Amino acid sequence: MTDSAQNDAVLLTTDHGAIRILTVHRPDKLNALNLATLDALHRAFDAAAADPAVRVVILTGSGPKAFVAGADIAEMHALTPVEGRDFSLRGQRMMRRIERMPKPVIAMVNGFALGGGLELAMSCHLRIASDTAKVGQPEINLGLIPGFGGTQRLLRLAGRAATLELCLAGAPIDAARALHLGIVNRVVPAAELESHVMAFAEQLANAAPLAMRGILDCIAVGGECGIEEGLEYESAQFGLMFATDDMREGTTAFLERRKPAFNGR
C-alpha cells in the first residue's frame, strides 16, 4: 500500500504502508468528542478491521495540545436523562469496537487525554504518551461521572485505589505518574513521540497477523472470564495456529536462521 490520506470533517485518515493513522480533528475544540466524532471513529475502525492491507492502527489527536480533551460539553449540556444515557451507550459501543479490534491499536497520546479522551485511549490496546501529556477523569467537576467506560477500564488498568482517586478528586496527573500506575505503556520526549510510535507500529506490522489476532482475542477473553475458561480458550487458539501458513513460515525461518516473511494466511 502506498502512502495515502483521506480527510473527514472530524477525522483524518492516513496510510503509511500497513499502518493506518486516525487523527481526531477538532483542534478548535481540543478534539472533544461529539456525536459526529463518535460515529466517524466507529466507521473508521470498522473500515480498518475489514481492510486486509491494514495491520496496525495508530490513534491520535490534531495539534500539539490535546489527544482528546474530553467529550463535547456544549453538546452534552442540553441532553435529557434518556439522551445522556444514549450518548453514553453510543460512546461505549464505539470504544468497545476499538477494544475488540483484531489488529493492534496504539493510542499516541500527544497532549491532554481527559474524560472521554482518557476513556478513548484506554480502549486502545497500547498507549504511548509524550512526557508533556496529562490524563484524568475530571467529570466530577461537571457534576457527572465517566460515561464511556472510564470507571471500568481504569479499574482494570490502575486498580481500585488509583481509580477512586482519579475519579473522585477529578484532578489530572502527569505522564510519569500515569506510567507508574500502568495507565500508559511508555512515556517518551514530546519531540520523539511520533517517530517512536511509528517505529513500534512498524515492528508490530511485520509480526504474524494471525498470531497477533489470537493474542488480542485471548487477552480480551481472559480479562472478562475465569482462569479455566481463559486457559481453555488459549489452548484452542494455540491449536488453530498450526493450520496457518504463518506458523509454518515462522518455525521454518527459525530453523533456517532467517527472518520470517508472514503473509497472514
CATH of the domain at 162: 3.90.226.10
Q: Are residues 230 and 131 in the same domain?
A: no
Residue 264, in any domain of the structure: no
Tell whether 177 is covered by a domain.
yes
> Per residue in 17-62, pLDDT tens?
999 999 999 999 999 999 999 999 999 999 999 999 999 999 999 9
Residues 34 and 156 in one domain: yes
Is 265 part of a structural domain of the chain? no
Looking at the structure, do residues 170 and 229 belong to the same domain, yes or no? no
- For residues 109 and 221, state if they share a domain: no
CATH number of the CATH domain containing 241: 1.10.12.10
What pLDDT does 9 receive?
A: 87
Identify whether 148 is part of a domain. Answer: yes
- pTM of the complete model: 0.93
Tell me the catalytic residues.
119, 139
Q: Tally the domains of the chain.
A: 2
Residues 125 and 233 in one domain: no
d(CA 11, CA 183): 25
**Sign of the CA dihedral running 49, 54, 56, 59:** negative
The predicted pLDDT at position 125 comes to: 98
Assess whether 190 and 245 both reside in one domain: no
- Note whether 114 and 245 are same-domain residues: no
Q: Are residues 31 and 151 in the same domain?
A: yes
Taking the mean position of all CA atoms in its chain, how far away is CA 213? 15
**What residues of the chain score a pLDDT lower than 70?**
1-8
Note whether residue 219 is domain-resident. yes
Confirm whether 115 is domain-assigned.
Answer: yes
Which pLDDT does position 5 carry in this prediction?
58
The verdict on 166 and 193 lying in the same domain is yes
β-bridge mates for residue 59, sequence order: 22, 107
State which of 168, 186, 205 marks the end of a domain. 205
Residues in the chain: 265
Q: Chain-wide mean pLDDT for the chain?
A: 95
Looking at residue 8, its pLDDT comes to 66
Ramachandran category for residue 149: left, alpha or beta (phi over 0 → left; psi -120 to 50 → alpha): left
Q: Which residues pair with 4 in a beta bridge?
A: 15
Residue 260 within a domain: no
Task: State whether 124 and 226 are in the same domain.
Answer: no
Query: CA-CA distance, 17 to 261, in Å (whole number)?
Result: 16
Per the structure, the complete domain to which residue 114 belongs is given by 4-205
Q: Are residues 13 and 72 in the same domain?
A: yes
Beta strands in the chain (DSSP E): 4-7, 11-16, 19-24, 56-61, 66-68, 105-109, 112-114, 126-130, 134-136, 173-174, 186-188
- Grid coordinates of 199: 517505529
- Going from the C-alpha of 68 to that of each of 13, 81, 222, the distances in angstroms are 16, 24, 29
Spatial contact of 204 and 192, defined as CB atoms under 8 Å apart: no
Q: Distance (Å, rounded) from C-alpha 254 to C-alpha 43?
A: 39
Within-domain flag for 263? no
Whether residues 50 and 168 share a domain: the answer is: yes
Question: Taking Cα atoms as reference points, which of 163, 210, 201, 154 lies closest to residue 14?
Answer: 201
